[in-house]
């Protein structure tokens, strides 16, 4: 199939989907109330325009040519000048990022004069020859994508609006130059790019020598921009490298589950983090698989997307919720919270034709927004705040826009209105819009990311716009993950030096997940059962089958309502972000006597299950044990977690030795400064700056008998958090035991180290330490009993002799009981 024909078919299918859904919405019985008038919609469109210019003008007046505006300080954020925020500043390159990222939004708003002025500024002021390390992913989607979209729209305006005749493709050349500066990151054994690159030195920067890890989304969100760059310039190298990276990622999927992890080693291809979901670290990888098929017409990307999509809906999807699992154990949840980046997923589901789950997940997200005013950065399975920040992200508004385009349901206009008014009330400041540091307090953060102008306000404007309000037909474009516009006609610019090969790794089943039968689907019918999903107050139909404790899932809304009907209430314990709850049962709260009895049985099962889980967790725990003082025979033990890459101490195995701090404390350099003092001892290193296994290899190289890694998060404790199990990089070359200690437990060990410089500790299994202590106590009790028996026997003999002597001498005084 030619790329041109495929692009035309893809555009036709999308139009057909919109047509089918619009016909289905003509059912008068299902038309929702609260339709928005044309007047109100036009007012909201203009308000979104005003929001854009309030932020844009603040940036241009107070921050340009900086990369970002700091809205509270009302000044620009420059790399190397403004105080560093650590890795977060890797998005900055001192290349006027906000302006470049915003160019195509100006065209959508119809502001040709300002667009022309901004393009001239970019051509005049922006340069890339800087000794700065930047994120490959962010630089690609914001800068390369921004330049390409602006170039395409500049040429479009030359033809359609008869303006900018002076423009000769300068921004395309700038995109090509920047692309070449990113290419050194692709020089890896796998073809998967490094996460960062120096704009001037490539990978020769000394700070990048230890560069090994990248995220799945970072490596898999390159192809749209690089393919467009190759096809517009005629230089195939960009598209070739991007295809190779996507092929390498596909080979790393788990063959049993078809899931991907989130962090991997670019040299070995080994997974570093095996969590699999649709949020941070992996989100736009799925997006680019599907959109690469739409833009380029290569069937293999549709097949790959379908395989991943089916796996996500099988293992990650829990009704409207999406909870991370382990890619190699997909029935095991890897965390108890969701992050805000997954809000893009319903929009992608709309594009792929799966409307029902898109409506469901969007409704869940909307209820989270209603509950907390703004969608927090992350929330737990019981919808409590996990991370409280709100960075004015666009993903929820993006999905709202695509759902409205697909259904015509005015509910989504009302959702957009609420989102707009909330931003106006809680994020608007005199100098732009400020991120919210905590949605519970409303405190602002001195931060306005470029995506606020590039995406958030763009999707709000598009949501409230009619097709005739726009100067371009957006259906002829693909939106990148940064909402930049790439025309479907790019498929016609075939790259003659790069041929697509049909892979025999896909079969016909990979292409069978097409637009499902909607069965007169209207979003209101799907939303109605979820109307009180978070509050749990909507009625439940009983299934007749008793819910067992073993089957219970706290993330399942039906299960939560079932235990509520049984008279069981759940109360959060400690920090809500940990998701720990305590169960209480009362017959008075049960829906019926029968349900009350079922609740009592459920509680008994839960007690037994908790005991079993406690024993399993105890069996995995490691112990760091030491004597209370140099003369004492009494020992204490602090809990520690095991690692997946080192020998685990089980049974009677233990390692004992003096303890010594690593120098430098985080043990991430090529050599320890105190290596001569480490041999045969137990080394302590702080978490951070490099991987756990890197610290272990350095300790092993120095001759350490074992390694203790202490947490760098103040106040963390194994009493309130799940025990941490350290993961490796897939290479099993660590032969010494390695354990992890949270901060509060390590503080006790640190105190003992300061009081006793020659402290000896013993690493062993916690359950074995408990047995050892019990055996010591039993031995002491036996010894004490034997001693008491001996004393009693001696006392009896003495009494008999005294009786015989009493006839000759006076009876001696009896010893006081307390002396005995």
DSSP string covering 218-279, please? HHHS-HHHHHHHHHHH--THHHHHHHHHHHHHHHTS-TTT----SEEETTT--EEE-EE-SS
Which listed residue (68, 101, 283, 409) is catalytic?
A: 283
Reply yes or no on whether 138 is catalytic: yes
Distance of alpha carbon 704 from alpha carbon 682, whole angstroms:
6
Rg (CA), the chain: 32
Reply yes or no on whether 239 is catalytic: no
Token pair belonging to 307: 């395989």
Which listed residue (90, 104, 138, 398) is catalytic?
A: 138
The alpha carbon of 508 is separated from its chain's Cα centroid by a whole number of angstroms, namely 33
Cα–Cα distances in angstroms (integers) from residue 411 to residues 418, 500, 535, in the given order: 11, 42, 20
Q: Cβ distance 90 to 138 under 8 Å?
A: yes
The helix/strand/coil state of 411 is: helix
Nearest to 198 by CA among 90, 100, 78: 90
Count CB-CB contacts under 10 A for residue 720: 15
Distance of alpha carbon 691 from alpha carbon 212, whole angstroms:
10
Distance of alpha carbon 476 from alpha carbon 479, whole angstroms:
10
DSSP string covering 759-808, please? -EEEEEEHHHHHHHHHHHHHHHHHHHHHHHHHHHHHHHHHHHHHHHHTTT
Token pair belonging to 564: 């509520």
Distance of alpha carbon 73 from alpha carbon 83, whole angstroms:
13
Residue 56: phi and psi, rounded to 5, are: -65, -45
35-44: long-range contacts, CB 8 A cutoff, minimum separation 24: 35/410, 36/410, 36/413, 36/414, 36/417, 41/413, 41/464, 41/466, 42/464, 44/413, 44/416, 44/417, 44/420, 44/464
Reply yes or no on whether 68 is catalytic: no
Name residues whose C-beta falls within 8 Å of residue 297's C-beta, 6 or more positions apart in sequence: 1, 2, 3, 4, 5, 6, 7, 10, 491
Q: Cβ distance 420 to 45 under 8 Å?
A: no
Residue 772: phi and psi, rounded to 5, are: -60, -45
Residue 506: phi and psi, rounded to 5, are: -110, 150
Token pair belonging to 602: 């459920």
| Annotated binding-site members for Ca(2+) | 481
Nearest to 192 by CA among 268, 273, 88: 268
- Provide the greatest CA pair distance for the chain: 138
Q: Count CA atoms within 13 Å of residue 244 on its CB side.
A: 17
Angle at 498 between CA 496 and CA 501, to 5 degrees: 120
Which listed residue (205, 213, 258, 395) is catalytic?
A: 395
Q: Cβ distance 658 to 760 under 8 Å?
A: yes
Compute, in degrees rounded to 10, the torsion defined by CA atoms 560, 561, 564, 566: -110
Q: What is the DSSP letter of 631?
A: S
Token pair belonging to 33: 């109330």
Place of tokens 């320890």: 672
Count CB-CB contacts under 10 A for residue 648: 14
Reply yes or no on whether 395 is catalytic: yes
Which listed residue (377, 449, 595, 745) is catalytic?
A: 377
Distance of alpha carbon 718 from alpha carbon 641, whole angstroms:
9
End-to-end CA distance of the chain: 100
| Annotated binding-site members | 481
Q: Which residues are catalytic?
A: 138, 283, 377, 395
């Amino acid at each position: 199939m030619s790329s041109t024909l495929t692009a035309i078919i893809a555009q036709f299918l999308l139009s057909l989907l919109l047509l089918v859904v619009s016909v289905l919405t003509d059912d008068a019985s299902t038309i929702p109330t609260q339709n928005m008038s044309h007047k109100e919609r036009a007012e909201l469109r203009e308000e979104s325009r005003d929001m854009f210019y309030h932020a844009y003008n603040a940036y241009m007046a107070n921050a340009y040519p900086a990369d970002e505006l700091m809205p509270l300080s009302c000044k620009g954020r420059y790399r190397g000048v403004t105080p560093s925020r650590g890795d977060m500043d890797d998005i900055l390159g001192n290349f006027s990022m906000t302006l470049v990222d915003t160019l195509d939004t100006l065209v959508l708003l119809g502001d040709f004069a300002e667009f022309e002025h901004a393009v001239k500024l970019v051509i005049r002021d922006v340069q890339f020859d800087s000794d700065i390390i930047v994120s490959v992913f962010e630089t690609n989607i914001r800068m390369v994508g921004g330049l390409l979209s602006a170039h395409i729209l500049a040429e479009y305006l030359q033809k359609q609006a008869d303006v900018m005749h002076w423009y000769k493709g300068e921004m395309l050349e700038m995109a090509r130059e920047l692309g070449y500066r990113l290419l050194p990151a692709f020089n890896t054994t796998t073809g998967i790019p490094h996460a960062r690159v120096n704009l001037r030195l490539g990978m020769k920067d000394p700070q990048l020598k230890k560069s090994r890890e990248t995220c799945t989304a970072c490596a898999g969100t390159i192809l749209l921009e690089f393919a467009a760059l190759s096809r517009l310039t005629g230089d195939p190298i960009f598209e070739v490298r991007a295809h190779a990276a996507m092929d390498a990622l596909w080979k790393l999927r788990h063959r049993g589950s078809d899931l991907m992890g989130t962090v991997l080693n670019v040299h070995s291809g080994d997974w570093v983090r095996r969590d699999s979901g649709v949020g941070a670290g992996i989100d736009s990888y799925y997006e680019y698989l599907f959109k690469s098929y739409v833009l380029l017409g290569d069937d293999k990307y549709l097949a790959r997307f379908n395989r991943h999509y089916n796996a996500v809906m099988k293992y990650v999807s829990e009704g409207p919720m999406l909870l991370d699992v382990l890619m190699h154990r997909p029935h095991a949840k890897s965390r108890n919270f969701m992050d805000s980046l997954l809000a893009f997923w319903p929009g992608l589901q709309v594009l792929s034709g799966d409307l029902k789950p898109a409506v469901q997940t969007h409704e869940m997200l909307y209820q989270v927004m209603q509950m907390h005013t703004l969608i927090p950065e992350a929330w737990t399975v019981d919808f409590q705040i996990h991370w409280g920040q709100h960075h004015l992200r666009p993903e929820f508004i993006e999905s709202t826009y695509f759902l409205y385009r697909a259904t015509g349901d005015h509910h989504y206009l009302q959702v957009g209105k609420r989102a707009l008014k909330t931003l106006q009330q809680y994020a608007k400041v005199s100098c732009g819009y400020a991120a919210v540091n905590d949605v519970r307090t409303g405190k602002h953060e001195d931060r306005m990311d470029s995506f606020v102008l590039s995406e958030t306000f763009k999707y709000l404007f598009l949501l409230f716009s009619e097709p005739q309000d726009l100067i371009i037909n957006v259906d002829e474009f693909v939106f990148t993950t940064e909402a930049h516009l790439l025309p479907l006609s790019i498929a016609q610019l075939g790259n003659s030096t790069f041929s697509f090969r049909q892979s025999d790794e896909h079969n016909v089943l990979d292409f069978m997940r097409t637009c499902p039968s909607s069965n007169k689907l209207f979003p209101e019918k799907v939303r109605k059962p979820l109307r009180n999903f978070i509050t749990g107050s909507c009625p439940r139909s009983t299934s007749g089958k008793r819910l067992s404790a073993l089957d219970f899932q706290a993330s399942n809304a039906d299960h939560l309502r079932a235990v509520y009907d049984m008279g069981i209430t759940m109360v959060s314990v400690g920090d809500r972000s940990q998701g720990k709850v305590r169960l209480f049962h009362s017959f008075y709260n049960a829906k019926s006597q029968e349900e009350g009895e079922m609740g009592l049985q459920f509680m008994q099962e839960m007690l037994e299950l908790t005991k079993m889980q406690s024993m399993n967790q105890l069996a995995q725990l490691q112990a760091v044990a030491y004597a209370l003082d140099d003369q004492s025979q009494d020992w204490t033990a602090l809990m520690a977690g095991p690692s997946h890459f080192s020998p685990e101490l089980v049974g009677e195995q233990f390692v004992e030795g003096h303890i010594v701090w690593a120098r430098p404390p985080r043990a991430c350099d090529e050599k320890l400064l105190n290596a001569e003092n480490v041999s045969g001892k137990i080394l302590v290193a702080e978490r951070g700056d490099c991987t756990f296994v890197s610290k272990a290899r350095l300790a092993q190289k120095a001759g350490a008998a074992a390694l203790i890694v202490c947490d760098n998060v103040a106040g963390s404790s194994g009493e309130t958090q799940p025990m941490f199990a350290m993961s490796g990089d897939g290479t099993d070359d660590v032969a010494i035991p390695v354990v992890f200690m949270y901060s509060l437990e390590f503080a006790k060990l640190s105190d003992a180290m300061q009081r006793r410089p020659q402290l000896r500790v013993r690493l062993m299994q916690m359950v074995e330490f408990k047995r050892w202590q019990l055996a010591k106590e039993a031995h002491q009790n036996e010894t004490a009993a034997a001693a008491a028996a001996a004393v009693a026997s001696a006392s009896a003999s003495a009494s008999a002799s005294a009786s015989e002597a009493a006839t000759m001498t006076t009876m001696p005084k009896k010893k006081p009981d307390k002396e005995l």
